[in-house]
Amino acid sequence: MPDAPLHIKSLTLDELGARLTALGQPAYRAKQVMQWLYAKRAPSFAAMSDLPAALRTQLAAEFAFDDLQPVRTLGSKDTTLKYLFQLADGALIESVLIPASPALYGEASDRRTLCVSTQVGCAYGCKFCASGLDGWSRNLTAAEIVGQVLRVEELSRERINNIVFMGMGEPLANFAHLMRAIGIINAPWGVGLGARHITLSTSGLAPQIRELAEQPLQVRLAISLHGATDEVRSQIMPVNRKYPLAVLLEACAFYTQRKKQWLTFEYILIAGINDRPEDAAALVRVARKVKAKINCIPYNQVEGLEWQRPSNARQDAFMAVLTAARIPATLRREKGHDIAAACGQLRRQTLPPAATPATPAC
């Protein structure tokens, strides 16, 4: 079978210019095409009306232009919106649009955060997460990552001004496509979103954290910690067996030294697993080592998993330990609980049993 054509939204401006030059077109046409893609949001090459007809024909022959197709949209009582998209090969992914929290940003905030997926499924098998229950299929391309931003803006009629790579998959396991997508999202000829409004999350891939520290863009990094001792973390996160806490914290310290940034530790509170006062005390010690702030999130129930969220009183007691230690910490009683907004839940509800992919060894 011939290779599928390269997607136009996977290209940088310089790459497109070089390809158009090779086709006998002037390089300045690349800027026109990019304006149609990201400023005017053209739905097809045919819609790029100020380009010569011959060029539009060439573009259609050279490049793919398929968009993510919406399959289901769930709206929450708190206006969180969850989108299930079908890709060109039939695979399903999720994106979640999260409005500003008045408690954090004030009633007048226009903050619109999009939680973006980077893989179809996940191979890392965190025990509390729905994304990995059906295994891993493949990485998303840069075009499929960027396409989530464009499609959600189109469907919601909202401007996205904050992006978190905390959807399906392990972002740093798809490093090359992720970095390309972030470059397109950040570029003035692309989506045009500032790097400091982009956060990526990792379950703890220490070598890639170090590699990310060497990248020029000042994106923000969040670590899905969820346990401040090897005992707790290994119980719920298999990645800890390959990159135990000491190795992870060394990589985090390297990152903060290079980037001169604070890290965020994401910490899902799970009843009876990591929500005790001694767990909070261990988290204090870890946060002090690497200049990290804490984002605590009560567990979002997933059908088929045994875990439970702690009571509000238990959550408050955990937070009191962090507050007393003067660790910057936020308790986020998450939006979207009524629409199963945890990563992978909507996809699992939609996939037929026969579509369940296999999980590779990792």
Residues with a catalytic annotation lie at: 94, 343
- 29: amino acid identity, one letter: R
The helix/strand count (H/E) of the chain reads as 13, 14
Nearest Cα residue to 236 out of 209, 267, 265: 267
Whole-angstrom Cα distance, residue 353 to residue 176? 31
Do the beta carbons of residue 98 and residue 83 sit within 8 Å? no
Angle (CA) 53 54 55, round 5°: 90
Residue keyed to tokens 């000491």: 246
Do the beta carbons of residue 163 and residue 91 sit within 8 Å? no
Residue keyed to tokens 């790097």: 195
Q: Which residues are CB-neighbours of 266 under 8 A, at least 6 positions away?
A: 166, 201, 222, 223, 224, 225, 226, 295, 297
